Amino acid sequence: MTPLTVGTMIFKGMRAGNAGNTMTDAFEQDQKASAGCCAPGRVAGSAAPRLAQRASDDLRTALDATLAPVPEGFFDMGARKPRYPADGEGPRRRVHTSAFRIGRHAVTNRLFAAFATESGYCSTAEREGWSYVFAGLLDDPAAHPVSPEGTPWWCLVEGATWHSPLGPGSGIEGLMDHPVVHVSWSDALAFCDFLGLRLPREAEWEKAARGGRRHNLFPWGNALEPADGHRHNVWQGRFPDLNSGVDGYIGTAPVDAFTPNGFGLHNMTGNVWEWCADWFALPVITRLPARDPDGPSDGTRKVLRGGSYLCHASYCERYHVHSRTGNTPDSTTGHIGFRVAASA
């Protein structure tokens, strides 16, 4: 794997400011809605279109085949010693979930393309005309001078969408089994509605990620890099200007890369952040264990779980099974995707 090297002068040359077009006004407003270092956000854009029809039997069968069962029962949610207490990673508490099913992997470009073809759905990034792309993946980051304040490694790229992840001229050929990205929470919800599925609740997501293990940092144990090899796709090297790619990938990896956890689920940490159904808030601690918690009734940001290929201890060490962040429902970036769930 050829290392990804991004000159630091590129970042110095990028700025948050006037790009000489109408995208700048939207960008300046988006800073008010930003989720912070993990994923830049956007303010409320156009509403997602309602889909009248439902998926074909073939597509529903294809999605159903990707679901794995997770048994009913209690588990310990959260961290005893949170790395980011303000994120609500802790405290550790007992939670009960009913049995459910969840995707063995994130939704792929192949599956999302089939959904878009059948439904005619137009995604948030397509309607708004832009999305955020990591600068190190662009041939010429300086050609995209608008970036969120404090995070110059994110570029506002006009024409970046799920099918053109690096902007005009790019495509998903060769990436059909990679996770779909540049999808908002609203896009993920539309996909689920069309298929008769749903997004996982946050508690379901964490229980699934743990794979039946207790009190571990990762789906496989506590070692970031076990002796038998890499287990997930995160940043290797010096963020944000050097990624060695020693885990085998720069950017996204195939959704079934690396060994699955105890429930047969792939990439529950690293690769891409995954939308959950819940509004983002600090956890509510109750005297008795919560049962099938679904979060607050409203809010401004939706929960994201799992971390991404950009996570690194020096910048965003949010690649643990308890790590969480949030973003506005219409935010899109090149490191956010989702997986589906269903009641048992």
- Tens of pLDDT, residue by residue over 122-135, are 999 999 999 999 99
Q: Report which DSSP code applies to 32.
A: G
Q: What average pLDDT does the segment 302-322 reach? A: 96
* Residue 50 buriedness (CB in 10 A; 0-12 / 13-18 / 19+): exposed
The more confident residue out of 285 and 274 is 274
Over 70: is that where the pLDDT of 32 sits?
Answer: no
Over 80: is that where the pLDDT of 228 sits?
Answer: yes
| CA–CA gap between residue 322 and residue 305 (Å, rounded) | 8
Q: What average pLDDT does the segment 283-301 reach? A: 95
| CA–CA gap between residue 114 and residue 108 (Å, rounded) | 10
Q: What residue segments make up the domains of the chain, in order of their start? A: 53-119+176-343
Over 90: is that where the pLDDT of 70 sits?
Answer: yes
Answer yes or no: are the C-beta atoms of 162 and 112 closer than 8 Å: yes
pLDDT tier at 20 (50, 70, 90 boundaries)?
A: very low
Beta bridge partners of 96: 74, 291
pLDDT of residue 94: 97
pLDDT tier at 41 (50, 70, 90 boundaries)?
A: confident
pLDDT of residue 172: 98
| CA–CA gap between residue 328 and residue 275 (Å, rounded) | 11
Of the given ranges (34-48, 179-193, 197-211, 307-321), which has the lowest mean pLDDT? 34-48
Question: What share of residues in the chain are helix, strand, coil (percent, to 5)?
Answer: 20, 20, 60
Token pair 């089939």 in the structure block, residue: 114
Class of 53-119+176-343 in CATH: alpha beta
